[in-house]
């Protein structure tokens, strides 16, 4: 699951969402966008483009509870993957050297798709 703010330097959450949904590698990852600005047209556009949820800040516990079905859906897909692919993903996620630069590298991959 990817959780992002709508307002970011250099791009909006909508722009990131479009890149993710256009990517053959990342299109099935659930995306949740949040913002402190209640702009209905922005919210609707993100949901129509494929965001699973759009939360207004401050995020409430009831909002967080809405994430459970999306997490469970991802878990089922993960369990259906061939073992070698799943193991490779687990190694990446659990590697001890995860840093902000790795996050940025991953983001660059998404944006270059």
pLDDT at residue 96, as a whole number: 54
- Look up the domain containing 103 and give its range: 2-112
Q: Which range is least confidently modeled, 3-7, 66-70, 73-77? A: 73-77
pLDDT band at 30 (very low <50, low <70, confident <90, very high): very high
User: Which residues does 26 contact at the CB level (< 8 Å), separation at least 6?
Assistant: 20, 110, 113
Number of domains comprising the chain:
1
Q: Residue 24's domain is classified under what CATH number?
A: 3.40.50.2300
Q: Is the peptide bond before 58 cis (omega within 30 degrees of 0)?
A: yes
């Amino acid at each position: 699951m990817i959780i992002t703010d709508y307002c970011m330097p250099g791009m909006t959450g909508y722009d990131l969402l479009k890149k993710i949904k256009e990517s053959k590698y990342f299109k099935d990852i659930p995306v949740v966008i949040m913002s402190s600005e209640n702009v209905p047209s922005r919210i609707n556009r993100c949901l129509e483009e494929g965001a699973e949820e759009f939360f207004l800040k401050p995020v409430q516990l009831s909002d967080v509870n809405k994430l459970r079905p999306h997490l469970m859906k991802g878990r089922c897909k993960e369990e259906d993957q061939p073992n070698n692919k799943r193991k490779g993903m687990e190694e990446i996620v659990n590697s001890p050297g995860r840093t902000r630069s790795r996050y940025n590298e991953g983001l660059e991959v998404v944006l270059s798709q």
